[in-house]
Every structure is written in C-alpha cells, then in structure tokens.
Amino acid sequence: MPSQTSSTAPATSPARERAFSWRFLTPLYVGSALNPINSSLIATALVPIAHGIGVSIGQTATLVTALYLASAVAQPTAGKAGEVFGPRRVLVTGIVAVGVGGLVGGLARNLLALLVSRVLIGIGTSCAYPTAMLLIRERARRTGLEQPPGGVLGGLQIAGVATASLGLPVGGLLVSGFGWRAVFLVNIPVALAALATALVWVEADGPLKGFRLREVASRLDVTGIAGFAAAMLALLVFLFQLPTAHWWILALSLVLWTADILWELRAASPFLDVRLLAARPALTNTYVLFGLVMLCQYVVLYGVTQWVEAVRGYSESASGLLLLPMTLVSGVVIALISRRNMVRGPVIAAALTALAGSAGVLLLDSGVWIGVVALVTFVFGASTGFAVAGYQTALYTHAPPEQLGTAAGLLRTFGYVGSIASSAITGIVFHHRVSDHGIHLIAWIMIGISLGLTVLTLADRSLRGRTDRSGRT
C-alpha cells in the first residue's frame, strides 16, 4: 500500500488531537453515512417511482436489491483497492461515483437508468468506510498509538451504521416536498461537499511507482475478487428470491464459493485470505456475530415498519419517525462505549438486549399502545449500539494492519448478508398479508436467532480476558 515517510514516535496529546481533528474526520464521516442512508432512503419513493416511469411496484423493488448487491461486493473490494492504490484515491473515486449516480438517477426516464444509478451509488458509497479505517489507522500509527481514540471509531460507526434508519423519514420529507427524483439528486450536493473536504483536509497518498497491469491485477487479486463477487451475488439472489426457493442458484453459489476458496489458497496476495480466517477464529467470529446482530436490527426496520403501516395504518413518514429512537439510542450507546475501547462487555450486552427486544415484539398487536413499538425500537437501538462499538474494536484488534481495509469491508458485507436475510424472513412471513400473527411469528424467529447469538457470544473464548486500555473487559 502506498505510504508516506513519517515518524512513528509517540506524539504529544495536543498533536494527537490535531491528528484526529474535525477537518480530517468530516469527509470520512460524511462519506460513511451515505451508504446506510441511501439503503433506506429510497423506501418511501418506490410507489412514486413506479407511477412516474410507468412500471409495477414489484419492479421498483429491484432498486433496493441493486444497492445491496453492489455494496456487499464493493465494500471489501474498495478496502483491497485502498491497500494497493492508497485510501484517499479510492475514497475520492467513490465520492465522484456517488455524485454521478445521483445525477443519473435524477435525470432517469426508465428503470434501467435508475438501476445504473443505484449500482453507482452502491459502489461509490461503499468506498468510504474501508478507506476511512485505513486512513484512521495510518494517522494512529504516525502519532504513536496502538489504536485511535475510541471516540474516532465510534463516530465512524455512528455515521456508518446508526444512520440507517434516518433514510426513512428523510426520504419521506424529500418525496413529499420535491418528488421522487430528490432521493437521487440529494446525493449531488452531499458528494460535492464530501469531495471538497476530502481533497483539502485528507492528506494525499504517496506516489504510485512501477505499477504494471499484471502487477496491479496480482496485488488486487482480480480473479479472487471476481470469484467472490460471483459467489456472493448468487447467494444474495437466492435470498432475494425467497419464499420461492431456486435451489439451483444456491447450488451454483456453493460451487462458486468452493472454486474461489481453492483459488485464494494458491493466490500470492489473496483478496479473501482463507488461511488468515482459519488462523484467526476471533476475526471470523466477529464477522458471523455482527451479521446476526444486523439481521435482528433489519428485521425490525423491515418487519415492524411493514406491520405498523399495514396493521396500524400509519403512513411511511410516520412509521419512519417511530424508528428515530433506534437511531438516537444506538448513536448515544456507540459514543459512550467506543471511548473505552471495550469488546466483551458490549457484545454480551448486544446479544442480551437483542433477546429482550425480540421478546418485546411478541407484545405487538393491533390494539397495543403505539409507545410499545417505540420502546421495542429503543431496545434494538441499544443492541445495535453495543454491537457496533464492540465488534469494530474487535475488528481493529484482530485484523492484520496491512489487510485492515479488506477486513473492514468484509465486516460490512456480513452486515449486508444479515440485512438481506432479514428481508427474506419478512418476505416469507408476510408473503400473503401482514398481520398480528405474522409479526408474532417473526418475533419467535428473532428470539431463536438472538438465543443463538447469545450462546455463540458467551462461548467465544477470544472475548475472555480481552481488556481495553483501562483494564476493563
């Protein structure tokens, strides 16, 4: 990875504060927030889009799928590219892609153009988080820190995860005030602001020297990336097709995963380092457990939101506002926990609060006080906050520094797999109609998942004895 010559001697406290100033962090946080917000931003625009371009509502659902598929593949790919070409270059390229995607979507006249727009936005926004982790790690190294200040990573996760539910109320306001094209066009001014601040406030990468096409392909592991993309896309397509099970797609995915793993075992610079994952089970456990927590969070975002709208008769914007406690609480929890760089305590708390919240979903029915819904989302907001703070610190601890970009991207990919699996669950349960019985069935499914999460978390030996800088676990 390109790097600049710098001293690694410990810096003074004021120097460390300047190293992680708001100028440096602003473009990283803004860029990282674009992906989760865009994931949910379009939800309130699907019906107006269908009317506007003359397609069915079912067809517009592919716009949600397109961003998820693009992001699931692009997150680790962007991390690998940042390790090879330099994180600032990849960050800037991604921001430009977001702006172009917003323009294409705002001017689109058909579904194909909108799909292109969402893929561009998905790829572009996916460049922010893994490159931000690389840039933060480099700053920490240059100021003599083993880890960056906890508040820095916490702010990154607040921007990159806790903002997901903001897309619903923001999208509702944009559509009602300016029409459906606004959910695409809004990316342009935000991308311009992020681009300007990144160019001015983020230090340039070192020069690229002697990069030949074959060398670049080898260092990026283009074959490994292509194999990972094909296998992941096949898996995600299978999940999105549920409740109709196309088993041949799942079989194809398994064949592609097998071929990709065999390739990566022989690759000189593997994109998906299988040996690393086998040698560091703590890192693998981090991915799996994070995916399970995100599955529970997104079941609430998708399932409970559908129930509130269909059974309780709330509008899309009103149901979106009901999810605000989830965003606010998760942000507060992340801010408080991340400053202490703790792992074991937060991830156990994440599992237990997910279990409590899942049990709370059983209380929902057509006659329950709507405040109970807000309370359930409040509990899941706390669970998300605990999980995000704990697992990001675990990732930073267990991932090799030279592979942090790819590792950070893979963490997000597991989160996307969890979110897509949650969409499949709600799609199966609510296949015929949304009802109280359906939401209770979802609750029992979530309780089972949360119990599994709790057992796996308590059994994870890598969490035992892991302490933060203050000696706390």
CATH architecture of 11-204: Up-down Bundle (1.20)
Burial of 278 (0-12, 13-18, 19+ CB in 10 A): exposed
Q: Residue 328: pLDDT above 50?
A: yes
Both structure tokens of 128:
């922010």
Q: Residue 9: pLDDT above 70?
A: no
How much is the pLDDT for 23?
87
The CA–CA distances, whole Å, from 68 to 61, 208, 217 equal 11, 32, 26
Mean of the pLDDT values across residues 315-333?
Answer: 77
- Report which secondary-structure segment, H or E, holds 384: helix 370-398
Q: Residue 10: pLDDT above 60?
A: no
How much is the pLDDT for 317?
67
CA neighbor of 83 nearest in space, from 128, 134, 132: 134
- Domain 272-460 adopts which CATH fold? Growth Hormone; Chain: A; (1.20.1250)
User: Who contacts 120 (Cβ-Cβ below 8 Å, separation ≥6)?
Assistant: 97, 98, 100, 101, 104
- What value does the mean pLDDT of the chain take? 83
Mean of the pLDDT values across residues 390-408?
Answer: 83
Domains of the chain by residue range: 11-204, 221-270, 272-460
How much is the pLDDT for 472?
42
Q: Residue 465: pLDDT above 50?
A: no
User: Who contacts 300 (Cβ-Cβ below 8 Å, separation ≥6)?
Assistant: 323, 326, 357, 361, 376, 377, 380
Q: Which amino acid is at 447?
A: I
pLDDT category, 210, cuts 50, 70, 90? low
How much is the pLDDT for 191?
94
Could you read off the pLDDT of 166-205 as tens digits, one per residue?
777 788 788 888 999 999 999 999 999 999 999 999 888 8
Which of 54-58, 211-215, 233-237, 316-320 has the largest mean confidence? 233-237
194 SS3 class: helix
Burial of 465 (0-12, 13-18, 19+ CB in 10 A): exposed
How much is the pLDDT for 241?
75
Q: Could you check whether 11-204 and 272-460 share the same CATH topology? A: yes
C-alpha–C-alpha distance, residues 466 and 123, integer Å = 35
The CA–CA distances, whole Å, from 223 to 45, 229, 252, 271 equal 37, 10, 18, 9
Q: Residue 209: pLDDT above 50?
A: yes
How much is the pLDDT for 189?
95
How much is the pLDDT for 467?
44
Could you read off the pLDDT of 250-275 as tens digits, one per residue?
999 999 999 999 998 888 788 878 88
C-alpha–C-alpha distance, residues 81 and 269, integer Å = 12
C-alpha–C-alpha distance, residues 389 and 158, integer Å = 9
Mean of the pLDDT values across residues 233-253?
Answer: 84
Could you read off the pLDDT of 185-196 as tens digits, one per residue?
999 999 999 999
How much is the pLDDT for 4?
41
Q: What is the pTM of this model?
A: 0.79
Which of 137-151, 324-338, 438-452, 456-470 has the largest mean confidence? 438-452
